[in-house]
Structure 1
Amino acid sequence: MAGNRGVVYQGPGRVEVADIAYPEFVLRDGPGVNPANVGRQLPHAAILKVVATNICGSDQHMVRGRTTAPQGLVLGHEITGEVVETGPGVEFVGVGDLVSVPFNISCGRCVNCKARRTEICLNVNPDRPGSAYGYVDMGGWVGGQAKYALVPYADWNLLKFPDRDRALEKILDLTMLSDIFPTGYHGCVTAGVGVGSSVYVAGAGPVGLAAAASALLLGAAVVIVGDMNEARLAQARGFGCETINVAEGDPGDQIEQILGVPVVDCAVDAVGFEAHGSGKDAGKEAPASVLNTAMEVTRAGGSIGIPGLYVTGDPGAADEAAKVGSLSIRFGLGWSRSHAFFTGQCPVMKYHRELMAAILADRVRIADAVNAVAIPLEEAPQGYRSFDEGAASKYVLDPNGYLGAAAS
């Protein structure tokens, strides 16, 4: 049996790459595993040799100590891999297949899965609807920032790439299918982005940049990205977006300088609960700031997509209300403007096959848009530090040398 290494959360601000258990076709007890999931038999699962696994902003929330994640949790929910073993219940996925893994774990059998709401599957997480790999309160499924990972309900969950050689040529793009590309796209779809739209995307991190690229793919006329990080704003300008630095003044005023009016057709919140204020309040944490700004700059009748993460437990929040996810949202403003709000995880399976086709047909270069940078698995702690310091990069871990081989 091969050895396994993975990225392990060791407490606020600390991750390390350590020896971890090789996957089995049963869910063992461990950090974060719900007791009701311990011993769960997985004949429907596949074991993957990980081709690429990405550091996500959602991982960073845990590493900063802004969730109730337990020490010892193996991180990582953005996984692309090669199937090396399948359980006896797997029929359509075979050894040697290159596959993308949706970060949502879903059964394919419950009422929500059958309605394409795989982000709120009812059968894989005893804590609440919805599940993910290597994430707090998501059932305890082991994370994929590792050399090997296990995927339950493999026939249902895995997206097979149609051609191995072609996939390896575009692997940095295809690895974004596990989360941030569909998530950014979902934010735009739910916001109502279409041909000729004007769109405000709050946040120029990887999800915000993926949302901006998605808005252009959907035909938006103008995409305005707001952030305080000039390097990330430059990344957005590099593929055709307008940008505003929200630390330099009111976002509505800056939008008016671009469009001639202080409102857009729709907005996407790609920031989430660790938001900061704008203008004179730019240095202060204000978890409702982005949501309130989105309402202020979205025209009456417009929609706001919210792929940015909001949580029910934030021990590091600035006030007691925010520690349980209670935010001072100007709901009356949204109501008065008849805004529509769309929240929750992205149902990756709703979009990933079509987005894969767009990548393979050279309709979008998502790895360039988010500035994907491949690093070895053992350099994951440095990747986390650089990302936390505001690097304008999407760090892609290369646990088994596939990315280096593809680049050579």
Structure 2
Amino acid sequence: MPGNKAVAYIEPHRVEVQTIDYPKLELQDGPGVNPANVGRQCHHGVILRCVATNICGSDQHMVRGRTTAPAGLVLGHEITGEVVEVGRDVEFIKQGDLCSVPFNIACGRCRNCKEGRTDVCLNVNPDRPGSAYGYVDMGGWVGGQAEYVMVPYADWNLLPFPDKDQAMEKILDLTMLSDIFPTGYHGCVSAGVTTGSQVYIAGAGPVGLAAAHSAQLLGASVVIVGDMNAQRLDQARSFGCETVDLTKDASLGEQIEQILGVPEVDAAVDAVGFEARGHGDQAGQEKPATVLNSIMQVTRAAGKLGIPGLYVTGDPGGVDAAAQEGSLSIRIGLGWAKSHTFTTGQCPVMRYHRGLMKAILQERCTIAKAVNATVIGLDDAPRGYQDFDSGVSKKFVLDPHNNLADKRAIAA
């Protein structure tokens, strides 16, 4: 039986590459596993040899100590891999298939799954609706920043690529299908982005850049990205976005007006989440509701807001007691007065990933270039987390089995 190296959260600002057990088609006890899930049989699952597995901004929230994640939790919910073992009850996924794994774990049987809401499956997480690999309070499914990982309900969850050779040529694009590309796209669809839309994207991290590229794919006429990180704003401009520098004294509305001639947009996307910081005279101060309030201010009446940025129910590092339980000072009256539509929550990846896969394979989009996909080895994950936390404009792709060696020079 091969070994299984994996990236584990140890304590705030520290991750470690450890050797863990090779996965079984049964959920084992371990850090973060709900007792009701221990021993859960997964004959409907498969074992994947991870080909590419990415570091996500959502992982960083845990690594910064901003959640209740337990020590030893194996991280990683952005997984692409090759099937090496097939469970007894799997009918259609075959050994050797190269597949994208939606970060949502879904049973395919419950009411929500049947209605397309795989983001809030009712059967995989005893704590609450919805689950994900390697994430706090998500049922304890082992993460995929590892050499091997178990994927349950494989016939339902996995998206097999039609041609493995073609897929490996575009693997840096296709690895984004597990999360950030559908998530950014979902933020834009939720915000009503369509042909001719003028769009504001709050945040130029990987999800924000994915949302900006998605807005272009959906036909937006102008995509404006706001951030306080000059390197990330440069990255947004590299594929045709307008930008606003939130370190400047001019307000967001004033900077948008300089671009569009009016201080408002048709649609806005929050790709920042609960660790948002103030700008202008509040620069550097944590203001967890600032992005939500600012996008209400700059979105036209009857406009829509997509909110794929993460908000949590438990934040030990919150600025006050209310923020520590996810209660924020949102100007709901402003949103009500402007008749805004809000969409929150995890992206239901399966709603979008097949179509986005086709767009990648037919060269209609270049998501890896937009987010600056950068390949590193699994052993380099601790450095990748540190660099990502420092604000570099890179999307780190881990290469557990050295399958992507030819991509490293391209990505460097």
Query: How does the TM-score come out when normalised to structure 1?
Result: 0.99
Q: Secondary structure at the match of 2:142?
A: coil
Q: CA deviation at 1:276?
A: 0.6
- What residue is the counterpart of 1:118 in the other structure? 118
- What residue is the counterpart of 2:246 in the other structure? 246
Q: Secondary structure at the match of 1:294?
A: helix
Distance 1:257 1:367 in 2: 30
- What residue is the counterpart of 1:88 in the other structure? 88
Q: Secondary structure at the match of 2:85?
A: strand
* Structure 2 letter corresponding to 1:353: R
Q: Secondary structure at the match of 1:328?
A: coil
Distance 1:287 1:250 in 2: 18
Q: CA deviation at 1:67?
A: 0.1
Is the Cα contact below 8 Å between 2:375 and 2:407 reproduced in 1?
no
Distance 1:245 1:319 in 2: 28
Distance 1:338 1:162 in 2: 44
* Structure 2 letter corresponding to 1:270: A
- What residue is the counterpart of 2:326 in the other structure? 325
Give 1:167-246 correspondences, 5 Å limit: 167-246=167-246
2:407 is aligned with 1:387: no
1:331-380 CA-partner distances (Å, limit 9, x unpaired): 00000000000000000000000000000000000000000000000000
- What residue is the counterpart of 2:278 in the other structure? 277
Is the Cα contact below 8 Å between 2:204 and 2:226 reproduced in 1?
yes
2:48 is aligned with 1:43: no
Q: Which runs of 5+ in 2 are unaligned?
A: none
Q: Secondary structure at the match of 1:26?
A: coil
Distance 1:43 1:162 in 2: 24
* Structure 1 letter corresponding to 2:325: V
Q: Secondary structure at the match of 2:177?
A: helix
2:308 is aligned with 1:307: yes
Distance 1:143 1:391 in 2: 24
| Count of residue pairs the alignment pairs up | 408
* Structure 2 letter corresponding to 1:343: T
Q: CA deviation at 1:280?
A: 1.2
- What residue is the counterpart of 2:99 in the other structure? 99
Distance 2:222 2:280 in 1: 23
Distance 1:285 1:117 in 2: 32
Bigger drift between 249-258 and 386-395 goes to: 249-258
Structure 1 residues 407 and 14: CA distance shift in structure 2, 3 A: closer
TM-align CA RMSD? 0.8
Is the Cα contact below 8 Å between 2:376 and 2:408 reproduced in 1?
no
Q: Secondary structure at the match of 2:66?
A: coil
* Structure 2 letter corresponding to 1:241: C
* Structure 1 letter corresponding to 2:52: A
Distance 1:362 1:34 in 2: 42
Q: CA deviation at 1:401?
A: 1.1
Q: CA deviation at 1:405?
A: 4.8
Distance 2:247 2:126 in 1: 42
Is the Cα contact below 8 Å between 1:169 and 1:406 reproduced in 2?
no
1:153-200 CA-partner distances (Å, limit 9, x unpaired): 000000000001000000000000000000000000000000000000
Distance 1:21 1:347 in 2: 30
- What residue is the counterpart of 1:263 in the other structure? 264
Distance 1:351 1:179 in 2: 10
Structure 1 residues 371 and 406: CA distance shift in structure 2, 3 A: closer
* Structure 2 letter corresponding to 1:277: G
1:260-316 CA-partner distances (Å, limit 9, x unpaired): 000000100000000011211121100000000000000000000000000000000
2:297 is aligned with 1:296: yes
Distance 1:251 1:174 in 2: 34
1:209-238 CA-partner distances (Å, limit 9, x unpaired): 000000000000000000000000000000
Distance 2:79 2:239 in 1: 26
1:85-111 CA-partner distances (Å, limit 9, x unpaired): 011011101111000000000000000
* Structure 2 letter corresponding to 1:338: S
- What residue is the counterpart of 1:7 in the other structure? 7
- What residue is the counterpart of 1:336 in the other structure? 337
Shift >4 Å, 4+ stretches: 405-408
Bigger drift between 62-71 and 279-288 goes to: 279-288
Is the Cα contact below 8 Å between 2:375 and 2:408 reproduced in 1?
no
- What residue is the counterpart of 2:131 in the other structure? 131
Distance 1:109 1:401 in 2: 37
Is the Cα contact below 8 Å between 2:222 and 2:241 reproduced in 1?
yes
Distance 1:253 1:285 in 2: 22
Q: CA deviation at 1:406?
A: 5.9
Distance 1:407 1:259 in 2: 39
Distance 2:147 2:405 in 1: 15
* Structure 2 letter corresponding to 1:389: S
Distance 1:142 1:401 in 2: 22
